[in-house]
Amino acid sequence: MTAEQSGSRSRGRSRSRSRSPSAVAQSFYTRWATLYDALARRAPGVGSVRTEAADALALDPGETVVEMGCGTGANLPYLAERVGPEGSVVGVDFSPGVLDVARERTREFPQVHLVRGDATRPPVARDLDASPAAVLATFVSGMFDDPAAVISSWADLVGPDGRLCLVDLAETTDSRWRPLNPAFRALVRVTAPPGSRTMRASPTKLLNRRLVAAHRALESRCRVTHETTHALGFARVRAGVVA
pLDDT in tens, 107-119: 999 999 999 999 9
Q: Is the pLDDT of residue 99 over 60?
A: yes
| pLDDT tens, residue by residue, 32-59 | 445 555 555 555 556 788 899 999 999 9
Residue 30: the pLDDT is 52
Residue 14 is predicted with a pLDDT of 45
Contacts of 147 (CB under 8 A, 6+ apart): 141, 210, 211, 213, 214, 217
Provide the residue count of the chain: 243
Give the model's pLDDT for residue 176.
Answer: 94
> Packing angle between helix 181-191 and helix 203-221, nearest 10 degrees?
90
Q: What is the pTM of this model?
A: 0.81
pLDDT one-digit tens code per residue, 57-93: 999 999 999 999 998 899 999 999 999 999 999 999 9
Question: Which pLDDT band, with edges at 50, 70 and 90, does 10 fall under?
Answer: very low
Q: What angle do CA 119, 129, 112 make, to 5 degrees?
A: 45
pLDDT digits (tens, 9 = 90+) for 164-222: 999 998 899 999 999 999 998 888 887 766 555 444 567 888 889 999 999 999 999 99
Give the per-residue pLDDT at 194.
58
